């Protein structure tokens, strides 16, 4: 079974269209979307409309949950921007998505870890960056899940890990947002170092897993301009460079005439 794995689209329709164009030549058996589908200042409603029309397997991410469950005033700016553009049919669609899904007996889809859409499964925060976690904490975060292949997103870092017990875990990276900062558990930056749109194709045959990571050019300059116009210099910088905007860079940019 050949599985195209998309995650963390974050309302970036331009990046999603680049992935869809690339998928046309690959004809996977199934396309899965691992959540954080709309949150952000770009094209939340158009992204949701497109995805709702596709025969993909979708699960929800923490941001999809947060923009449904929180009052507008309590949302972060990315969730609020998306929420303001979504209509009831988009919200009803998001509300129906499960937090995890089993593609078959062996394959589990989740956003963060199987039990927590906010938990980093393959990374740990080290100072103000993230790095690959050791096998033991990854195994702990997997919990009692019985699957030989786990597909996850959330940290936007493309990675394929095989634990000593043979379980394979693949994060395809982010379709729509190549870098971000977060304050949980403290301020840190997550960066892929390239503005390209990411996804993966996982070919699972009995006894083997072949993983192909794909990085695609698309019109990230237009996406970045759109974020800047929405007063999101952090997104504008991340989309154009694949690096996160440091607080010191942001204040320096503001001080410029
Ligand atoms: Mn997430």
Q: What is the distance in A from the centroid of ligand 1 to the CA of 154?
A: 4
- Residue 137 inside a domain? The answer is no
Distance between Cα 62 and ligand 1 center (Å): 5
Taking the centre of ligand 1 as the mean of its atom positions, its distance from the CA of residue 68, in whole angstroms, is: 14
- How much distance in Å is there from the Cα of 227 to the middle of ligand 1? 19
* Ligand 1 geometric centre to CA of 111 (Å): 7
73 in a structural domain: yes
- Whether residue 138 lies inside any domain: the answer is no
**According to the model, what pLDDT value does residue 257 have?**
47
Distance 64 CA to ligand 1 centre (A): 9
Backbone angles phi, psi at 193, to 5 degrees: 80, 15
Q: In the prediction, which pLDDT does 149 show?
A: 97
Cα-to-centroid distance, 257 and ligand 1 (Å)? 36
3-state secondary structure of 208: strand
Count of Cβ atoms closer than 10 Å to residue 26 Cβ: 12
Q: For residue 256, report the distance from its CA to the centre of ligand 1, in Å.
A: 33
Q: What is the domain extent for residue 19?
A: 2-99+177-255
Residue 33: give its domain's CATH number: 3.60.21.10
Residue matched to tokens 């209509």: 87
Contact 239, 226 (CB under 8 A): no
pLDDT at 248 (0 to 100):
78
Q: Does any domain span residue 152?
A: no
In a domain, 134, yes or no: no
What is the number of structural domains in the chain? Answer: 1
CA of 5 to the centre of ligand 1 (A): 15
pLDDT at 247: 78
pLDDT of residue 198: 98
- As averages over each run of 10 residues, the pLDDT of the chain (257 residues) reads 98 98 96 98 98 98 96 95 97 98 97 98 98 98 95 98 96 98 96 98 92 98 98 98 89 59
Output the pLDDT for position 8: 99
How far does residue 27's CA lie from ligand 1's centre (Å)? 27
Give the model's pLDDT for residue 221: 98
- Give the number of other CB atoms < 10 A from CB of residue 50: 15
The pLDDT value given to residue 2: 97
Residue entry with tokens 């940019």? 253
List the shell of residues around ion ligand 1, using CB closer than 5 Å: 36, 61-62, 154
DSSP SS3 for 227 = helix
For residues 200 and 128, give the distance between their C-alpha atoms in angstroms, rounded to a whole number: 27
Give the pLDDT confidence score for residue 252 in this predicted structure: 66
Rounded to the nearest angstrom, the distance between the alpha carbon of 156 and the centre of ligand 1 is 8
Q: Render the burial of 212-239: b for 16+ CB within 10 Å, e for the rest.
A: ebbeeebebeebbebbbeeebbbbbbbb
Handedness of CA 190, 193, 196, 199 (dihedral sign): negative
**CA atoms of 173 and 215, how far apart (whole Å):** 9
Asked if residue 118 is part of any domain, the answer here is: no
What local confidence, expressed as pLDDT, does residue 206 receive? 83
Measure 136 CA to ligand 1 centroid, in angstroms: 22
> In this predicted structure, what is the pLDDT of residue 145?
92
Domain-located, residue 20: yes
Strand 179-182 to 188-191 pairing: antiparallel
CB 68 within 8 A of CB 99: no
Residue 124 alpha carbon to ligand 1 centre in Å: 15
Residue 234 lies in a domain: yes
CB 153, CB 171: distance < 8 Å: yes
**What local confidence, expressed as pLDDT, does residue 254 receive?**
60
Residue 184: CB atoms within 10 Å: 10
Q: Are strands 168-171 and 30-33 parallel, antiparallel or unpaired?
A: unpaired
206 CA to centre of ligand 1 in angstroms = 31
The pTM score is: 0.96
């Amino acid at each position: 079974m050949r599985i195209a794995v998309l995650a963390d689209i974050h309302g970036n329709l331009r990046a999603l269209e680049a992935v869809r164009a690339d998928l046309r030549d690959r004809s996977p058996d199934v396309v899965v979307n691992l959540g954080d589908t709309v949150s952000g200042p770009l094209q939340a409603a158009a992204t949701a409309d497109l995805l709702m029309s596709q025969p993909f397997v979708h699960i929800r991410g923490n941001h999809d949950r947060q923009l449904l469950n929180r009052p507008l005033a309590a949302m972060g700016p990315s969730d609020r921007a998306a929420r303001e553009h979504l209509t009831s049919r988009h919200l009803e669609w998001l509300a129906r998505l499960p937090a995890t899904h089993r593609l078959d007996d062996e394959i589990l889809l989740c956003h963060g870890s199987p039990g927590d859409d906010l938990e980093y499964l393959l990374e740990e925060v080290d100072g103000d960056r993230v790095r690959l976690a050791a096998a033991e904490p990854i195994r702990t975060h997997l919990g009692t899940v019985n699957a030989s292949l786990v597909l996850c997103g959330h940290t936007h870092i493309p990675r394929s890990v095989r634990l000593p017990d043979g379980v394979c875990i693949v994060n395809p990276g982010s379709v729509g947002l190549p870098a971000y900062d977060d304050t949980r558990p403290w301020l840190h930056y997550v960066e892929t170092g390239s503005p390209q749109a990411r996804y993966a194709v996982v070919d699972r045959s009995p006894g083997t897993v072949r993983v192909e990571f794909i990085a695609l050019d698309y019109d990230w300059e237009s996406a970045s301009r759109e974020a800047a116009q929405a007063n999101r210099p952090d997104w504008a910088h991340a989309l154009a460079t694949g690096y996160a905007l440091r607080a010191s860079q942001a204040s320096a940019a503001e001080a410029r005439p």
